[in-house]
Amino acid sequence: MSSEKQWPEEWYKRYLLFGKWSFEGIEVKDPGLKRYICLRPVIVPHSMGRHEHDRFAKAEVNIVERLVNQLMRPGMNAGKKARAIKFVKNAFEIIHLQTGRNPIEVLVRAIENAAPCEDTTRIMYGGIVYHQAVDISPQRRVDLALRWIAEGARMASFSNPKTFEECLAEEIILAANKDLKSYAIQRRNELERIALHAR
């Protein structure tokens, strides 16, 4: 597990994402998600990953790469990581233009805001199905947040003249601002509302 592992100082200067965005000074404010959002400095979010057999290894995959991986979905984009990376790169440019902040930081904020805390599970008790509210593990919170951000962007760009990059950028910015227009935030609120009722 990544825990509070620090990366060597000089990496922050040498390895800028896409040769542009620095990972320096970006912190995960949510203490629960800290160990599951990896901010290892990389140039290309493409690690030729070897993590599928290790339970917590995906927590050590760079967070931008995890977003990239979520964008590859069957249909037109399955397996096209180069394409997905280009989408993220352009989306990051747009985010920077619109907010003036470091897009990696915006993404981390978005994930923190979109990560749900509570879910429900089905419990059979005496033949009757109950819904029981449960806490979500931090790993799954990150997974869900990333998935919803990607899903929201995909749905927004479908049959829409806007490019996918714009939709992705917009979704990330909205989520980072905790805006209710964001699909990921909507999903989070809905899930937590259901969980609240099932408590």
Partner 1 sequence: MMPAPVTKKILVVSGKRKTAIARAVVKPGMGRIRINNIPLEIYEPEIARLKILEPLIEAGEEVWKELDINVDVRGGGFMGQAEAARMAIARALVKWTKSAALKSAFLRLDRTLLAGDPRRKEPKKYGGPGARARDQKSYR
Binding site for partner 1 (CB under 8 A): 8, 11, 14-15, 18-19, 43-44, 46, 48, 50, 81-82, 85
Closer residue to partner 1 in complex, CB, 34/40: 40
Closer residue to partner 1 in complex, CB, 43/134: 43
Smallest distance from the beta carbon of 85 to partner 1, in angstroms?
6
Do residues 120 and 195 touch, judged by C-beta distance below 8 A?
yes
Angle ∠(95,188,66) on CA atoms, nearest 5: 50
Residue 94 to residue 113: CA distance in whole angstroms: 20
Do residues 32 and 111 touch, judged by C-beta distance below 8 A?
no
Smallest distance from the beta carbon of 56 to partner 1, in angstroms?
19
Smallest distance from the beta carbon of 131 to partner 1, in angstroms?
37
Smallest distance from the beta carbon of 45 to partner 1, in angstroms?
9
Do residues 28 and 34 touch, judged by C-beta distance below 8 A?
yes
SS3 37: coil
Closer residue to partner 1 in complex, CB, 82/123: 82
Strand pairing partners for 38? 62
Closer residue to partner 1 in complex, CB, 18/148: 18
